[in-house]
C-alpha cells in the first residue's frame, strides 16, 4: 500500500471516486465536443440543399479571402523577424553583460500581458492622431503616414511585436536555460570568432527549437488578432471573417473550424520543436 | 571577457528604445488624454467614466470576469483532478493536449462556434427548444468564455496536482488524518497559490476579451471593452475619445491590481511543487 519510491501513481482505491471521475469526463466531453460537432454540422447541412461541403469550397473564391490572408501572413512574417531581431540580442546582452538589467527586462516583457489590448489600441490611436497634427510641418509627418499605409500597415507590426513579446521572451528564456551561453560564447570569442559569427553560427543553432516555437506562437497570435487591427481600421484575416459573417453564416463557421485546426497544428509544431530539444 | 564586452549591454538598447517608443508613447498619450477635457487638464473624463452607462459597463465586465473566473477555476480544477488521478494514460494525454489547443482558441472564431451551436438558428438550440436570443446574454457569454477558461485552468492545475506527493497523503494517514484532514491541512494549502493564480489569469483573460463579445452580442450586454470600442470608432459625438481613454485607464488600473495579486502568488506556488 505504501509507495516506496514516490514514483507510483496514487490510485483511487474505492469504486466511488471512479464513478465521480466518469461523470466529470462525460460532462466535459459533452460541453467541449457538442459545439465542435454542431459547428461542423452547421457548415455542411442546410434543409434546402442537404449535406454539402460547398462552404469549404467557396472559401477560396470568396471575395477578400486571399488578400486578407496574405496581409495577415505578411504581417506575421514581419512581426516574427522584428521581434526576434530585437529580443534575442537584448536577452543575450542581459545574460552575458548586464545581469542587473534582468529584472527590468522581465517587467517590460510581462507588461503587455497586464495591459488589455483594447487600451493599447486606444493609446496608439491617440498618439497617431496627435502625432499627425503636431508633426505636420516636419519631415516626420511622411514617416507617420507611411507607417499607416493600408497596403502594409507597419503600425500593426509594431503593435504586434509588443503584444507577442511576453510569449517570445518566455520561449527564448526557456531555450537559453538549456545551454551554457557564457561558456559557448567565451570559447568562440577566444578562438577568434567575430560577434556576428558567434551569433549566427554558435547561438542561433543552439536555440533552433526555441526560435521555432517563438515564431509559431507569434504566427498563431497574429493570424487570430482582431482587436488592434479592427479598431485601427485595417482588414487582415480575423477582421475579414467578421465582415463576411454578416452575409455568409456558413462560411464564417467553416473558417472558425479551420482556425481551430490551424491552432492545433501550430501547437503541435511548438511541442515537437521543444520535444526534440529534450531528446538531445 | 568583461573588458572585451564592456559595451555588450548595448545589445539591449534597440529593444529598450523600441519599447519606449511603441509602448511608452501610447501610454503617455493615454494618461494625458484621460486627464484632458476641452484642451485643459481636468478630472471630468475620469469622473464621467465612473458614472451612468459607463459605470454599468465597467461593473458588467468585472461581474462577467469574476463569474467566469470562479466557475472556470472550480470546473477546471475538478477536470484536472480527474485527469491527474486517472490511470488511463491516453485519456490524460488527450485531455491535456485538447486543453492546450482550446485555451488558445478565443476571439472571433469562438463566437461563431457558439452562434452555430446555440444561436438563434443554431443546431442545438432548435433541438432543446432554447428561446430566441438566449445566447446573446450575460449567461450566454459566461457559457462561451468557459470554453477557453476551463482548459486554461486545467493547464494551470494539472502540474500543481501532479506535484502532490503520495507520501504526503500516507504520512497524514499514518498520523491519523482523515481524507478531509488531508485536503484541509495538506493538499489545499499547497494548491492555494496555483488556484488563486489560475483565478486571476482567468479573470484577466475574460476582462480584456473584446473580439468574442463584439462578434457575439454586439452592444446587447454592456461591457467596458465594447464601450471603449464604440467611443473610439466615433459612432458617438466627437470629444468622447477622451472618455474612451479614461475608461481605458480604469481598465488598466483594474487589470494592474489583478496582476499585482497574481505575480507574487506565482512565485510562491513554485516553492513546493518541483
Asked whether the beta carbons of residue A10 and residue B85 sit closer than 8 angstroms, the reply is yes
Interface of B with A in 185-204 (CB under 8 A): 204
Residues A259-272 have a mean pLDDT of 84
CB A120 within 8 A of CB A159: yes
pLDDT at A29 over 50: yes
| pLDDT number for residue B66 | 95
What cell numbers appear for B238 in the block?
466627437
From the CA of B187, how many Å to the nearest CA of chain A?
Answer: 14
Cα separation, A77 vs A219, in Å, equals: 8
Do B198 and B152 contact (CB within 8 A), yes or no? Answer: yes
Neighbour-count burial of A141, counting CB atoms closer than 10 A to its CB (0-12 exposed, 13-18 middle, 19+ buried) = middle
Does the beta carbon of B90 lie under 8 angstroms from any beta carbon of chain A? no
Eight-state DSSP code of residue B20: I
Model confidence, pTM: 0.86
Distances (CA, A) of A115 to A86, A156, A204, B194: 21, 17, 31, 22
Which cell numbers in the block locate residue B195?
A: 488556484
pLDDT digits (tens, 9 = 90+) for A91-104: 988 888 888 888 88
Burial of B3 (0-12, 13-18, 19+ CB in 10 A): exposed
Q: Which residue among A39, A120, A231 sits closest to B117, beta carbon to beta carbon?
A: A39
Per-residue pLDDT at A90: 92
**C-alpha–C-alpha distance, residues B210 and B103, integer Å:** 16
Q: What is the model's pLDDT at position B2?
A: 46
Q: What is the pLDDT of residues A34-66, one digit of tens each?
A: 999 999 998 888 777 778 787 788 877 788 888
pLDDT (tens digit per residue) in A176-209: 888 888 888 889 888 988 888 888 888 888 888 8
CB contact under 8 A, B210 and A117: yes
The pLDDT of residue B6 is 58
Looking at chain B, the number of H-run helices and the number of E-run strands are 14, 2
The helix or strand, by DSSP H or E, that contains position A50, with its residue range, turns out to be strand A50-51
Residue of B nearest to A115 (CA): B252
Q: What pLDDT does residue A80 have? A: 95
Of A35, A128, A54, A224, the C-alpha closest to B124 is A35
Closest chain B residue by Cα to residue A17:
B82
CB-defined contacts A:B, below 8 A: 235
In angstroms and rounded to an integer, the radius of gyration of the C-alpha atoms of chain A is 24
**Is B29 near chain A, with CB under 8 Å?**
yes
At residue A222 the predicted structure's pLDDT band, cuts being 50, 70 and 90, is very high
Pairing of strands A45-46, A50-51: antiparallel
Q: Which among A224, A226, A253 has the least Cβ separation from residue B116? A: A253
- Return all residues near A206 (Cβ < 8 A) that are at least 6 apart: A175, A179, A184
Number of alpha carbons in the 13 Å side-chain half-sphere of residue B192: 10
Looking at every residue in chain A, the average pLDDT score rounds to: 84
- Residue found by looking up cell 492545475 in the block: B157
Contacts of A85 in chain B (CB under 8 A): 14
Contact indicator for B60, B258 with CB cutoff of 8 Å: no
Neighbours of A53 (CB within 10 A): 10
Confidence of residue A17 (pLDDT cuts 50, 70, 90): low
- Cell numbers 522581465 correspond to A106
Q: How far apart are CA B133 and CA A93, in angstroms?
A: 56
Smallest CA–CA separation between B71 and chain A, in Å? 13
CA of B130 vs chain A CAs: smallest distance (Å): 15
Q: Is the pLDDT of residue A1 over 70?
A: no
Q: What is the pLDDT along chain B (274 residues), one digit of tens a residue?
A: 444 455 777 888 999 999 999 999 999 989 988 888 777 777 878 887 888 888 999 999 999 999 999 999 999 999 999 998 888 888 888 888 899 889 888 889 999 999 999 988 888 888 887 887 888 999 999 999 999 999 999 998 988 888 888 888 888 888 888 888 888 888 888 888 888 888 988 999 999 999 999 988 887 889 999 989 888 876 555 667 888 899 999 999 998 888 787 777 666 655 655 4
In A, minimum Cα distance to B260 occurs at A114
Q: Which residues in chain A are contacts of B150 at CB distance < 8 A?
A: 28, 31
Amino acid at each position: 500500500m505504501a509507495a516506496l519510491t514516490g514514483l507510483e501513481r496514487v490510485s483511487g482505491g474505492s469504486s466511488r471516486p471512479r464513478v465521480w471521475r466518469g461523470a466529470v469526463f462525460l460532462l466535459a466531453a459533452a460541453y467541449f465536443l457538442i459545439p465542435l460537432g454542431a459547428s461542423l454540422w452547421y457548415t455542411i447541412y442546410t434543409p434546402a440543399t442537404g449535406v454539402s461541403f460547398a462552404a469549404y469550397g467557396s472559401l477560396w473564391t470568396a471575395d477578400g479571402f486571399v488578400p486578407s490572408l496574405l496581409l495577415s501572413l505578411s504581417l506575421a512574417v514581419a512581426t516574427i523577424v522584428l521581434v526576434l531581431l530585437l529580443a534575442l540580442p537584448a536577452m543575450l546582452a542581459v545574460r552575458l553583460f548586464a545581469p542587473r538589467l534582468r529584472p527590468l527586462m522581465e517587467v517590460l516583457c510581462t507588461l503587455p500581458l497586464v495591459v488589455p489590448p483594447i487600451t493599447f489600441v486606444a493609446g496608439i490611436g491617440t498618439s497617431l492622431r496627435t502625432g499627425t497634427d503636431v508633426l505636420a510641418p516636419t519631415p516626420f509627418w511622411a514617416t507617420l503616414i507611411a507607417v499607416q499605409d493600408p497596403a502594409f500597415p507597419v503600425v500593426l507590426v509594431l503593435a504586434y511585436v509588443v503584444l507577442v513579446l511576453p510569449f517570445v521572451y518566455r520561449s527564448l528564456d526557456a531555450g537559453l536555460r538549456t545551454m551554457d551561453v557564457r561558456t559557448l560564447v567565451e570559447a568562440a570569442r577566444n578562438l577568434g570568432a567575430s560577434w556576428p559569427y558567434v551569433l549566427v553560427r554558435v547561438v542561433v543553432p543552439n536555440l533552433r527549437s526555441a526560435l521555432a516555437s517563438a515564431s509559431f506562437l507569434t504566427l498563431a497570435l497574429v493570424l487570430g488578432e482582431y482587436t488592434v487591427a479592427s479598431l485601427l481600421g485595417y482588414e487582415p484575416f480575423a477582421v475579414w471573417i467578421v465582415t463576411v459573417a454578416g452575409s455568409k453564416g456558413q462560411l464564417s463557421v467553416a473558417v472558425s473550424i479551420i482556425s481551430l485546426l490551424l491552432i492545433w497544428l501550430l501547437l503541435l509544431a511548438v511541442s515537437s520543436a521543444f520535444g526534440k530539444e529534450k531528446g538531445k | 571577457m568583461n573588458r572585451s564586452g564592456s559595451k555588450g549591454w548595448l545589445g539591449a538598447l534597440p529593444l529598450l528604445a523600441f519599447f519606449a517608443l511603441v509602448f511608452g508613447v501610447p501610454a503617455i498619450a493615454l494618461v494625458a488624454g484621460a486627464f484632458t477635457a476641452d484642451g485643459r487638464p481636468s478630472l471630468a473624463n475620469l469622473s464621467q467614466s465612473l458614472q451612468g452607462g459607463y459605470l454599468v459597463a465597467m461593473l458588467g465586465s468585472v461581474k462577467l470576469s469574476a463569474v467566469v473566473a470562479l466557475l472556470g477555476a472550480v470546473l477546471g480544477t475538478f477536470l484536472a483532478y480527474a485527469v491527474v488521478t486517472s490511470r488511463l494514460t491516453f485519456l490524460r494525454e488527450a485531455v491535456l493536449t485538447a486543453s492546450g489547443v482550446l485555451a488558445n482558441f478565443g476571439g472571433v472564431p469562438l463566437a461563431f462556434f457558439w452562434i452555430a451551436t446555440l444561436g438563434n438558428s443554431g443546431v442545438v438550440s432548435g433541438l432543446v427548444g432554447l428561446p430566441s436570443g438566449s445566447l446573446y446574454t450575460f449567461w450566454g457569454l459566461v457559457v462561451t468564455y468557459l470554453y477557453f477558461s476551463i482548459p486554461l485552468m486545467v493547464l494551470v492545475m494539472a502540474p500543481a496536482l501532479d506535484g502532490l506527493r503520495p507520501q504526503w497523503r500516507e504520512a497524514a494517514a499514518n498520523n491519523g488524518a482523515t481524507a478531509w484532514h488531508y485536503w484541509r491541512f495538506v493538499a489545499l494549502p499547497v494548491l492555494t497559490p496555483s488556484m488563486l493564480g489560475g483565478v486571476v489569469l482567468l479573470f484577466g483573460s475574460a476582462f480584456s476579451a473584446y473580439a468574442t463579445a463584439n462578434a457575439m452580442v454586439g452592444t446587447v450586454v454592456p461591457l467596458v471593452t465594447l464601450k471603449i470600442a464604440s467611443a473610439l470608432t466615433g459612432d458617438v459625438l466627437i470629444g468622447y475619445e477622451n472618455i474612451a481613454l479614461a475608461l481605458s485607464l480604469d481598465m488598466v488600473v483594474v487589470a494592474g491590481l489583478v496582476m499585482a495579486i497574481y505575480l507574487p502568488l506565482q512565485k510562491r506556488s513554485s516553492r513546493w511543487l518541483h
